[in-house]
Each structure stands twice: as structure tokens, then as C-alpha cells.
A = this chain, B = another copy of it.
């Protein structure tokens, strides 16, 4: 072999590192899966072939140092260690727990790979994620009678009768395409389906409320969550989870404009302008060395170190771990809830909300000042990777100031709504089905949230004319007018 050839080969390997990994040993079972699926569903097979799962063995993964490790289980069964993590390794886990397990060309296969299956290697991530607000996201909606009122009022069908517009069927389909698309559906198995293939008919489990990749999905093995919400199949690339587009699937205006705010922030500007030259793959993720501006993951969950390896923030898949206050007001901002399952909260008015309509927090269900201080310290540890301490302090403090000011605008709206209820202009039985009630809802869900996210992540447009202070002020005046006119004319309900 000539010098030139060697140089070219070395360079090829350097430029297309994927080529190196294709030599990792694939299990016999996965080989058989691939042999057929490379023709049947080439998209996902090829996607997997670009993945770290396809390019390494668990034996080598386990040899990495603590900070470099991507598998968190203390030990992994010997049978998995010497080949890549392929189709069969994931889709055959814990079959006895899976009502979606079925016989497929001689193998027992689960349709859905669940957090409980991923746990074999990623134990710590699942342990953090499952009890968190994300892991409990479906139950947080469907087990909370207040939120269910809202979900149903919005998504149920309506009909025009002689009595006017009346609510009609509650539609699980509509919920699955809107609220539960992000929060997750409950996927169940209802018999089987027969699929025609070019070889023969095959029987597969018939899944309901499927497809779905919501963060709080309830799976056929009873586990909660969908790792694929943020780690899409079948590359499961860490660079996807670290890039802001992932969070941008759900955290959007008008209700949770986190991604929209990020896009117009200076952080976003730098990432969109220069991100192509940054490294979104390395573990641990080194501030300054690998990247020069943060994405969502940087601030909220990634393991961060200095270039020389000092830990600035530990990885967490509980996305509240660095948050001391919940700026998504319900209706007011409040200390983060102690438990991710929030439907058990009961406030002083016996409502399952973290604050009363008057703003009193349900403190026994919320983290205390000491825990708040710890979490705020974690976030500040991220900020000070780039910013001076005084900068970070002032930045975090003004989030608190914005919360206080915006909460006053919610209080004002609530006082107007209370007048409407007291004067029988509207009926508090369902707080989400009349005109003033929905103006009140917009005040906190749309406008207050916009201003808070805008402050917390520096996207000022959302604090000004785009669902911001402009709308907080306008909506309050409109509520007052609506209330005055209807109270005077005795136009009740709606």
C-alpha cells in the first residue's frame, strides 16, 4: 500500500467516522431482523446504522470513565455486552410485561420499546425521568379534574340545536391529536391486525391511541414515558436531543413559548449562526470547548464540564432539577412541585392547583426555600460557565421580579372574573366555558407565560407586542368592558 493510499484511507475514516464503526459485531438475531427490514423499512435500518448503538458494544461503552459514560446502569447482563445494540436487543426486552409482545418470524418482539426496556442500560435516566413532571404528563392532565374540564371544553365536539351551541361527544381522538400528542396517550392492545406483505400475511398487535410519542405516554407494559419524544428513532442521536428543535416540538407559543423565545434570543442567534462549527455529540459536554452558546439541553439537563473536566452541572433527566420556580403559572408562578405527579396537589380552596385563584400557594406540595436555593444554585452554575457571577445573579433575580409583576396582572384579571361570578354574569361551575373565563385563561396561559419566558430566556418581543405586556394590558381592559356591559344589560352566561 502506498503512502498516498494510506493517507486517503485515513482521511476517509476521519471524515466519515461512521465507516469505522460498521465493523462492530451485530448479534445473530439483529442480523436476521436487518436482513429482511433493509428491504421492508430501509429508512429505519439505515438510520440505526448511523447510530452509536450500531457502532459500539456495551463492553466498550462500560469501559469509559464516569463522565464519558453514556450508559448509567451499574451492571448490564453479560449476554448484551459483546455486540452492538440492535433491533432485537431493544425490541425483545421484558417481553412478559408487554401486552404488545407478539411472535414475529420465530422471535418474540415488542412493538414498543419503553423506558422500562431502555432502563437495562440507561437506568439513572429512567429513574430520574419517570417520576418527573414529564414522565407523569398524561396522568397530570387526565387525573386532574380541573385540567380535564379545560381539555374537554376545548376538544369536544359541539352542535347547533334550538338551544344554541351545545357540547357534544367527548373525543379521545381529538385529545390524541392535540393535548395528548405532547402529553402522551395511553397505548393499549386490542386484539390483532392482519397485515399483507409480499411474503405472507402477518399478525401484529392492534394498538390503540397509536402512533404517539408524547412525553408521558403510558405503554403496554405499564411504564410511563417515551424516550423517543426527544431521542427519535432509530439513530437516537444525542445531537438531536441537544439541539433546540427537539424541545420545539411542544414548547411553543401561545401557551409555552420557550422555543419561540429561544429562537430570538442571543443564545439562539449564536447557535443558529455558528452551531455548524460546534460539537453537539461529545460527552461530557465542555463549555467553551465544544460549544460557545447554550441550547435548551445545556441549561436544563446536560452534563457540563469545563474544558479541563471540572463538572459545572450534573446530567439530569428530571427537567425541573435546575428550576426553583415554575414560570408556567397555574394560574400564578410558584415553587416547583415536590412530586412530578401534580394531580395530588390540593390548595387552600380544595382545588388540584398549586395556587389558589387568589394566589395562595399550596406550599405543602411545593419545594421549600432551601430546595429552591439548591436548584437555583444549579442553574447559576450553568450561567457562570460563561457569565460573571454578578451578571448571573442579576439575571436570575429579575426573573423573580417579572414573575411578581405578571402575577399582579393575573390577580387583576381574576378579580374581574370573580366579580363576574359574584354578579352571576358567568357561572364558576366550569371556569373554562364562557367568554370572560376564557379571557381570564388567556391572561395567564398566553400572555403572562409569554412575558415570563421572554424574561427568563431573553426574547423581548414576547414581553412586548407578541402576546406580552401589550396583550396583558389590552386583555384586562377588554375584560373590564365586557363585564361592565354585560352586568349592566344583565346578559348572563356566555
| Chain A residues with a Cβ under 8 A of chain B | 2-4, 6-8, 10-11, 38-47, 50, 111, 153-155, 157-160, 164-165, 171, 173-174, 176-179, 181-182, 193, 195-197, 204, 206-207, 210-211, 213, 232, 235, 237, 239-240, 243, 245-246, 248-250, 252-255, 263-266, 268-270, 272-274, 276-277, 286-289, 292, 306-308, 310, 384-391, 393-395, 398, 401-402, 405, 408-409, 412, 415-416, 434-435, 438, 445-446, 451, 454-455, 458, 460-461, 463-466, 468-470, 473-474, 476-478, 480-481, 484-485, 491, 494
Q: Are B42 and A289 in contact (CB under 8 A)?
A: yes
A473: min CB distance to chain B, Å: 5
A51: min CB distance to chain B, Å: 10
Assess A157 versus B7: contact at CB under 8 Å? Given A211-B391, A245-B269, A461-B252. Answer: no
Contacts of A213 in B (CB 8 A): 266
Q: Are B387 and A41 in contact (CB under 8 A)?
A: yes
Kindly report which residue of chain B lies nearest to residue A418, judged by CB atoms.
B160
Q: Are A177 and B402 in contact (CB under 8 A)?
A: yes
Listed by A's residue number, 16 A-B pairs whose Cβ atoms lie within 8 Å are: A38-B307, A42-B289, A43-B387, A154-B469, A158-B408, A158-B473, A177-B455, A178-B451, A178-B468, A182-B461, A182-B464, A204-B388, A204-B390, A235-B292, A252-B461, A438-B474
Q: Are A405 and B173 in contact (CB under 8 A)?
A: yes
Q: Are A477 and B435 in contact (CB under 8 A)?
A: yes
A40: min CB distance to chain B, Å: 8
Measured between alpha carbons, how far is A477 from B426 in the docked complex, in Å? 14
Q: Are A7 and B6 in contact (CB under 8 A)?
A: no
Indicate which residue in B193, B273, B476 contacts A390 across the interface (CB closer than 8 Å).
B193
Q: Are B268 and A245 in contact (CB under 8 A)?
A: yes
A197: min CB distance to chain B, Å: 7
